[in-house]
Structure 1
Amino acid sequence: MTDSSRRPGGFFLLRPENPAEIGPETVINRATTPWSYDKLQVELDVFWERDPLIARDWVIATVDLERSFQSAGITGYRLRPVAITLSENYVELDGGPIPDFVWLDVTGKPRLDDIAWTTGGHLDLIVSPKFLDVLEAGGASHFDAFLLPD
Structure 2
Amino acid sequence: MTHHKLTPDVPGEIGDDTELDRSVHPPRVLHLAYVIDNWLGDDLLEAYPAFMVTDHLRGLLEGSGLSGYEIRQADVTIEEEARDTLPMIGRTEFPEFLWLHVTGKPGHDDFGLTAKGDLVVSDRALEVLRQGHIDRCDIDEYDQSTGA
Q: TM-score, normalised by structure 2?
A: 0.84
**Aligned match of 1:59:** 51
**Over 4 Å off, 4+ runs:** none
- 1:70 is matched with 62
Which one of 102, 105, 112 corresponds to residue 109 of structure 1?
105
Residue correspondences, number: 139
SS of residue in 1 equivalent to 2:130: helix
- The match for 1:28 is 20
User: CA 1:66–1:92 in 2, change beyond 3 Å: closer, same or farther?
Assistant: closer
Structure 1 residues 99-124: Cα deviation after superposition (integer angstroms, max 9, x where no partner): 112111111011111111012xx221
In the aligned structure 1, how far is the partner of 2:143 from the partner of 2:82?
A: 39
* Contact residue 39 and residue 85 of structure 2 kept, 8 A: no
- TM-aligned CA deviation for residue 67 of structure 1: 1.9
Identity %: 30
Structure 1 residues 133 and 91: CA distance shift in structure 2, 3 A: same
For structure 2, which runs of at least 5 residues remain unmatched after alignment? Answer: none
**In 2, distance between residues paired with 1:92 and 1:67?**
27
Q: Does 1:98 align with 2:94?
A: yes
Question: Aligned equivalents of 2:18 and 2:36: distance in 1?
Answer: 14
2:30 corresponds in structure 1 to: 38
Q: Tell me what 2:79 maps to.
A: 87
**Which whole-Å deviations, capped at 9, do the CAs of 1:42-81 have from their partners, x for residues lacking one?**
1111221x21110132111012211211211111112211
Letter in 2 for 1:20: G
TM-score of the superposed pair, with normalisation by structure 1? 0.83
